[in-house]
């Protein structure tokens, strides 16, 4: 999406699936940012690729980045384990949490296992550890009318739907990636 991403500190390498869904939601965010200042959080930021795209493409966006590990320098970076150090509310929250189930390790490419941070990939037995933590707290950090965009593994769709119900979210829509697999959800 026209951004150079610094990978020198070896974060998770941005994937085409992430770029696909960010590109899909960018026009609505751009439209909101055309008339007012919008506050955006890129949580589980890793390389910062999502937030940097938003920052580059929406002039009225104030973007904050949050992650447990700091892989890049930015004035709005918050070192945080999920929402532990985040107090603000946001108009948009973009989340690409670790979501690979530990029992799927054999399906992960060797090069990924060798060169990319396992902490950015694996999330417990079912891959839902960070998704549960995130969804439990996210709506407390969302402004009225705000939206959450979250990536996940296709086989997690039903479990995430159940989590959204259990955490009392009111509306969400699951969306497919460019390979026709459910990959991201919009939560309002």
CATH code (residue 124): 3.40.50.150
The whole domain housing 29 covers: 16-187
Whole-model pTM over 0.85: yes
Count CB atoms within 10 A of the CB of residue 107.
8
- Is residue 3, in this structure, part of any structural domain at all? no
Q: What is the mean pLDDT of residues 83-109?
A: 91
- Is residue 1, in this structure, part of any structural domain at all? no
SS (H, E, C) the chain: CCCCCCCCCCCCCCCHHHHHHHHHHHHHHHHHHHHCCEEEEEECCCCCHHHHHHHHHCCCEEEEEEECCCCCCCCCEEECCCCCCCCCCEEEEEECCCCECHHHHHHCCHHHHHHCCHHHCECCCCCCHHHHHHHHHHHHHEEEEEEEEEECCHHHHHHHHHHHHHCCCCCEEEEECCCCCEEEEEEC
- Is residue 6, in this structure, part of any structural domain at all? no
Q: What is the mean pLDDT of residues 164-182?
A: 97
Distance CA 175, CA 151 (A): 10
* pLDDT at residue number 162: 98
The total number of structural domains in the chain stands at 1
Q: What is the mean pLDDT of residues 80-90?
A: 97
**pLDDT for residue 176 is more than 90:** yes
- Is residue 110, in this structure, part of any structural domain at all? yes
* pLDDT at residue number 6: 86
- Is residue 60, in this structure, part of any structural domain at all? yes
* pLDDT at residue number 42: 98
Note the pLDDT tens digit of each residue in 3-56: 888 888 988 888 999 999 999 999 999 999 988 999 999 999 999 999 999 999
Q: What is the mean pLDDT of residues 162-187?
A: 97
- Is residue 67, in this structure, part of any structural domain at all? yes
Note the pLDDT tens digit of each residue in 102-146: 888 878 888 888 778 788 887 888 999 999 999 999 999 999 999
- Is residue 9, in this structure, part of any structural domain at all? no
* pLDDT at residue number 121: 82
* pLDDT at residue number 116: 81
Phi and psi at 134, nearest 5°, equal -65, -55
- Is residue 121, in this structure, part of any structural domain at all? yes
Q: What is the mean pLDDT of residues 58-69?
A: 95
* pLDDT at residue number 88: 97
* pLDDT at residue number 106: 79
């Amino acid at each position: 999406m026209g951004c150079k991403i610094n990978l020198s500190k070896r974060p998770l390498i941005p994937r085409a699936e992430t770029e696909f869904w960010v590109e899909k939601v960018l026009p609505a965010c751009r439209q909101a940012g055309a008339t007012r200042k919008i506050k955006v959080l890129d949580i589980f930021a890793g390389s910062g690729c999502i937030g940097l795209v938003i920052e580059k493409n929406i002039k009225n966006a104030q973007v904050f980045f949050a992650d447990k590990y700091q892989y890049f320098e930015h004035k709005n970076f918050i070192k945080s384990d999920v929402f532990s150090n985040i107090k603000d509310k946001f108009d948009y929250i973009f989340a690409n949490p670790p979501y690979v189930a530990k029992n799927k390790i054999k399906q992960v490419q060797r090069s990924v296992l060798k060169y990319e941070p396992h902490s950015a990939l694996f999330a417990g037995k079912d891959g839902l550890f960070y998704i549960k933590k995130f969804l439990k707290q996210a709506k407390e950090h969302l402004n009225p009318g705000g939206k959450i965009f979250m990536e996940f593994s296709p086989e997690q769709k039903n479990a995430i739907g159940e989590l959204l119900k259990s955490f009392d979210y009111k509306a969400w829509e699951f969306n497919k990636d460019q390979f026709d697999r459910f990959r991201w959800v919009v939560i309002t």
